[in-house]
Amino acid sequence: MKLRISILLLILSLVLMSLDKVSKNTVTFEYPKDWPKPTYTFKNNPLTEEGIMLGRKLFYDPKLSKDGMISCASCHLSFTSFTHVDHKLSHGVKDRIGRRNTGALINLAWQKDFMWDGSINHLDFQPLAPLTSEVEMGGNLDNIQKYLSSDDTYKSLFFNAFGDSIANTPNMLKAFSQFMLQFNSFNSKYDKVKRGEMSFSESEIKGYQLFQTHCNSCHTEPLFTNNQFMNNGLTVDTTLQDMGRIKVTGLKSDSLKFKVPTLRNIEVTYPYMHDGRFKNLPMVLLHYSQEKHQTFNIAKELKEPIVMTEGEKRSLIHFLKTLTDKEFLYNQDLSFPRN
């Protein structure tokens, strides 16, 4: 009797496994051959068309927020590289103002630490913060789960993606990640020049050389970040009193350190820095070429002002603009879902 039940169970699980395979369309994660390996463990959350489709619907759904007005996309717009353009600090439910500027969401599979201070260390956990934060979406996981599990479209999307129509939080988080792992940018002019498909102008070449001399040690190619936390010599904003990484580690040596952000698509992600203090790129270069706020742990490369002529600054900006990837910014597969 026992044996018969186990055989039955075995057959049942084999049938379920094969159903599982039939119903899902796996997606391979593609990236340029000469890039480092991504750090995200796809093994634990294999990409499927169904999972990505669900993640996309969730990302654009304001009903996940307390007042039904704010979705992830309210602060992360696809055509500005998923930043909250023109806002120094992000605005959430009831127009409450957050403490930080929204950074770009790009090439997240290569990132180990999230947020400006690295307070989150796995992409799958990232959505929990905005979903439940009082100044962002102000939601509550139980209510979100109830809403998703009672909506017919979501029920079938969850079933197609994970073989379970109940919208549990782990599967919801996996779907968010699957969609965000599509935010990959490697088709800028810079990338095309690297692949031999285009060439830089004279000014861009000059800018690239300046970049390699002064910026590349932190904003390191090809991702344009070294994924470290550094102090780049900004003064502390006296109202926000944001001390950065120290809040997470408690180490004095981490005071005023922030994550080195990628510079990909930097032309469209203004304003700049963790608090959006600089409106445009000339202001950023003015900061780097001036005496900086000297604290004990200011990065050694930035202790002295970086001396550049106005012409050199223009060339450097010309180069930075070659990092704009229009194919990514206007990718229809990443924008508001039409169905």
CA distance 115 to 16: 39
- Which of residues 167, 181, 218, 334 is near ligand HEC by CB under 6 A? 218
Count other C-beta atoms under 10 Å from residue 290's C-beta.
Answer: 11
Residue 299 binds ligand HEC (CB under 6 A): yes
Largest CA distance in the chain: 86
Of 74-103, which residues contact ligand HEC (CB under 6 A)?
74-76, 90-92, 98, 100, 102-103
Contact between 334 and ligand HEC by CB under 6 A: the answer reads no
Place of tokens 């508001």: 336
Q: Whole-angstrom Cα distance, residue 4 to residue 209?
A: 72
Is residue 122 a contact partner of residue 146, using CB atoms and an 8 Å limit?
Answer: no
Among candidate residues 48, 6, 59, the one with its CA nearest the CA of residue 23 = 48
Which of 50, 124, 136, 204 is close enough to bind ligand HEC by CB under 6 A?
136
Is residue 173 involved in binding ligand HEC (CB under 6 A)? no
Q: Per CB under 6 A, does 51 bind ligand HEC?
A: no
Rounded Cα distance between 153 and 290, Å, is 55
Query: To which residue do tokens 């992000």 refer?
Result: 90
Under the criterion CB under 6 A, does residue 319 sit at the interface with ligand HEC?
Answer: no
Report if residue 272 touches ligand HEC, rule: CB under 6 A.
yes
Residue 301, interface with ligand HEC (CB under 6 A)?
A: yes
Integer CA distances (angstroms), 147 to 78, 254, 335, in order: 25, 41, 23
Of these, 48, 53, 81, 114, which contacts ligand HEC (CB under 6 A)?
A: 114
User: Where does this chain bind ligand HEC (CB under 6 A)?
Assistant: 70, 72, 74-76, 90-92, 98, 100, 102-105, 111, 114-116, 126-127, 130-131, 136-137, 176, 180, 214-215, 217-219, 230, 232, 234, 258, 260-261, 263, 266, 269, 272-274, 284, 288, 299, 301-302, 306
